[in-house]
Amino acid sequence: MKLSTNKNSKIIKLGLWVGITVLLLTVPWMITERYYSYIIALSGIWTILVLSLNIILGYTGQVSICHGSFFGIGAYTSTLLVMKLGWSYWFALPVAAIMSAFVGFLIGIPALRSKGSYFAICTMGFGIIVTIILENWISLTGGSSGIYGIPPPDSIVLFSQKEISFHSPASQYYLILVTTCFLLFFTRRLIDSRTGRAFLAIRRDEVLAESIGVDPMRFKLLAFTIGAFFAGVAGSFYSWLVGVITPAVSSLYVSFEAIVFLVVGGAGTLIGPILGTLLLNVVPEFLQMIPEYRMVIYGVLLFLAIVFMPNGLMGGIRSIFVRLRKFNGV
């Protein structure tokens, strides 16, 4: 009976993943209105940002309030390289991500020596500094006016001399989708590795982790750097999708919004960042047809998710499955 149930469970999981894959691949055909296509693509970028924060907050337990800064650094670096130096976007993208990671590494060295609320305050201070620099370095960043007319990524020429252009909403969606899936796969492999186990040990009990040979500073700094790298990728994508960037992309508002998305979706899980982003970013946009109730419904959803699912949507879903298994005697 138990073997049969496990087999059925695997079949259900396989069918679920196949269904999700088909759904994701057919989104551009199901949603043809340009505005909603834009919202879906933007949600993919937010998913990357929240996924990057998940590595820091979800897996090592460090509450970073400067994640919007790495997002902004990635956006401005790739934009300036493309528009002022004439670089190809495909060279500017990795440089922007590496720049965000490098800054994250430098900031992490002193900040991660503090713990708890002190670490959060340190990162918040850094976030404010980055925004002030972007606002006042007018000759480079354009100040509060920002940078406009950011072009989409260059076309990719295949061996058959055919080009893949990224001017259409569908091609932009698939680029973001492929990148998101790759980063999810990388995160899964990372967490399943010895390094990931060290992350989880630090999250559970840093003192105990150190007593069994784990160097907390080393692994927290590694998580912080990887998270900043992912955030740089998200920022670089955001710049060309929106077509304009201002210092607001690095604001504390972006950092706090990413934290809310992660907490509601479920920190420390792979699917949590996706669920949180979809609930809090996509659903309110589709509620615009009833604008007088839009924010009310949004607030109710947020309230219910936090009160009745303190471990996030993913934690709530897991608890439901556990109860169903106990009910079925598995």
Task: Dump pLDDT digits (tens) for 220-238.
Answer: 999 999 999 999 999 999 9
Enumerate the domain spans of the chain. 29-154+164-264
Q: What pLDDT is stored for residue 131 in this prediction? A: 93
Q: What pLDDT is stored for residue 288 in this prediction? A: 65
The DSSP-derived string for 259-278 is: HHHHHHH-TTSSSHHHHHHI
Residues 6+ apart with CB under 8 A from 35: none
Residues 107, 206: contact at Cβ < 8 Å?
Answer: no
Confidence of residue 315 (pLDDT cuts 50, 70, 90): low
Task: Dump pLDDT digits (tens) for 151-183.
Answer: 999 888 776 667 788 888 888 999 999 999 999
Task: Dump pLDDT digits (tens) for 272-310.
Answer: 888 888 887 777 766 666 666 666 766 777 777 777 776
According to DSSP, the residues that pair with 148 across neighbouring strands are: 244
Burial of 38 (0-12, 13-18, 19+ CB in 10 A): middle
Q: What pLDDT is stored for residue 294 in this prediction? A: 63
Q: What pLDDT is stored for residue 2 in this prediction? A: 47
Is the whole model's pTM more than 0.85, yes or no?
A: yes
Q: What pLDDT is stored for residue 3 in this prediction? A: 47
According to DSSP, the residues that pair with 157 across neighbouring strands are: 163
- H helices present in the chain, as ranges: 2-30, 34-53, 59-60, 67-83, 89-111, 117-136, 138-141, 169-192, 194-204, 206-211, 216-242, 252-265, 272-277, 283-286, 291-308, 312-327
Residues 101, 46: contact at Cβ < 8 Å?
Answer: no
The DSSP-derived string for 297-319 is: HHHHHHHHHHHH-TTHHHHHHHH
Q: What pLDDT is stored for residue 17 in this prediction? A: 67
According to DSSP, the residues that pair with 245 across neighbouring strands are: 147
pLDDT over 60 (residue 25): yes
Q: What pLDDT is stored for residue 115 in this prediction? A: 83
pLDDT over 80 (residue 63): yes
Measured CA to CA, the distance from residue 105 to residue 1 in angstroms comes to 52
**What is the separation of C-alpha 315 from the centre of its chain, rounded to a whole number of angstroms?**
18
Measured CA to CA, the distance from residue 130 to residue 250 in angstroms comes to 7
Measured CA to CA, the distance from residue 251 to residue 131 in angstroms comes to 6
Measured CA to CA, the distance from residue 322 to residue 210 in angstroms comes to 32
Sign, Cα dihedral of 93, 96, 100, 105: positive
Give the chain's end-to-end CA distance (angstroms, integer). Answer: 9
Measured CA to CA, the distance from residue 298 to residue 234 in angstroms comes to 25
Task: Dump pLDDT digits (tens) for 77-121.
Answer: 999 999 999 999 999 999 999 999 999 999 999 999 888 888 989
Measured CA to CA, the distance from residue 117 to residue 17 in angstroms comes to 39
Task: Dump pLDDT digits (tens) for 7-24.
Answer: 555 666 666 667 777 878
